[in-house]
Structure 1
């Protein structure tokens, strides 16, 4: 049994599918199946139940997963301590990030980070913000970047508070909103509630609504002249239509916040500290951690 066997086991336990696991780890499926058989033989227990619907963990498999998770983390911690002693920023950095941030901000951050710290192995999980927070609570990622408000007792850094805008195509500039199609997308409950309040306060009840999935799709529909929408400013860098920041009836602006979450103890790891510093430099805000 080696680290590759642990990686195969844990990935299969997560996906529940041999084909997806083989693709994710760039292995031939017969090779993967053989290594699993050898692992079960070595441990003297059946770890997975196979069926046409996929695989599920047996009680022995559940016990093995707990041990393998701890073993894998112990290996990572050891490598990080050894590299730290050599003065090299390396190890693994696990980031859970909101889908919007991973689309519109993260690529440039990672380009700068990997230029300075090429020895760091990155694992990026792109999820809805609520799932990013949940993953942080389970201890899987080192860092989460989420949008909206949340309760978090450890390190919490405000990266940005952007405007929420009404957008439309220039060809629709003089057309009353009531005569245009409203393009909506599913967002988290906090953002949906904010949009609903603004619509209600401004007595807008769209008669025609187009529901789409994804912020980029929403903006593309507006650019094509299909209607108007309410979106956060993060997605408007290349939007060439009309964008108007919105305000509630009492004058309060509609905004969307982006936070970086971390655990203070893990911020002592050089690769984590370096990432926080990189993000702070790009956002031109003070870093809560000392320089690497």
Structure 2
């Protein structure tokens, strides 16, 4: 078996489908099937059960998956460590970032980074912050950029602490908030608790509520005059309505923090070290 076979095995285990695996790896399906048969013959075990619905790992396949995952990770780490001996910053940089940061901040950072280090291969994934941390703990990524307060025992840098704002359209500037629809969205418990405390302290009881699925949708609804909302400043670069930073009753501002998390050992890798330097330089904090 070679490294390509290991990639085939892990991709097929993930998709459960020969056709999708062949498409993802740019292989002809007969070639894929032949390599899989050779792999099973070499190991002396059936790794997948085939059916019209797809393929499923056998118990032997599950054991092989654990070993192959470790092997692939070890090879990746070896390559990255070898880059320490070279002057050119290259290798692979794996970043896991929160959905909001990926949409509103990360593109500018990556554009600047790739302009300076074109030989680095970027692998970027987005998820909710709590899941970003889990993936970083599992060793799947070099770095994670998360929104909110989370425990992390290794490298942790505050990139930004932005205000949380009340927004409304200009046409609704003089309409009392209690007479307008509140536009809410699903958010993490910390943000929901912050919003609930502010509403309670200011005795706010919106006449009705409209729930949406993301920050950009929330802002678009407000721009259309459908109501008002409470959102972090990160999403307001192109908002042309009224935005007011919010404060609790004791004068403490409502704010949202963004952190860069990393494992200290991997921060020695040149491509990781350079990304940390650049994202810190470009952050507002």
Query: TM-score, normalised to structure 2's length?
Result: 0.93
Alignment coverage as a number of residue pairs: 285
* Alignment partners' CA distance in 1, 2:19 and 2:170: 48
Query: Partners of 1:139 and 1:168 in 2: how far apart?
Result: 42
SS of match in other structure, 2:165: strand
Q: Do the aligned partners of 1:16 and 1:56 also contact (CA within 8 Å) in 2?
A: yes
User: How many Å apart are 1:54 and its aligned residue?
Assistant: 4.6
SS of equivalent to 2:226? coil
Mapping of residues 19-58 of structure 1, within 5 Å: 19-51=19-51, 54-58=54-58
Q: Matches of residues 265-284 of structure 1 in structure 2 within 5 Å?
A: 265-283=265-283
**Given the alignment of the two structures, is residue 183 of structure 1 paired with residue 188 of structure 2, yes or no?**
no
CA spacing shift, 1:241–1:284, aligned 2, 3 Å: closer
- Provide the alpha-carbon RMSD of the alignment: 1.9
Once the two structures are superposed, what CA deviation does each residue of 1:160-198 show, in whole Å capped at 9, x if it has no partner? 000011111111111111121111110011111111111
SS at match of 2:151: coil
Is the 2:93–2:121 contact (alpha carbons within 8 Å) kept by the matching residues of 1?
yes
Correspondence for 2:211: 211
Query: TM-score, with normalisation over the residues of structure 1?
Result: 0.91
Q: Deviations over 1:237-288 (max 9, x none)?
A: 1111111111111111110000000011110111110110110111266xxx
Q: Is the 8 A contact 1:76 1:91 kept in 2?
A: no
Structure 1 residues 11 and 31, CA gap change in structure 2 (3 angstroms): same
CA deviations over 1:87-115 (Å, ceiling 9, x no partner): 12111111111000110111111111111
Unmatched tracts of structure 2, length 5 or more: none
Structure 1, unmatched stretches of 5+, are 286-292
Match of 1:132 in 2: 132
Closer, same or farther: CA 12–254 of 1 in aligned 2, 3 Å: farther
Deviation digits for residues 32-89 of structure 1, max 9, x if unmatched?
A: 4443333223322222334555543322222212211222122222322333322121
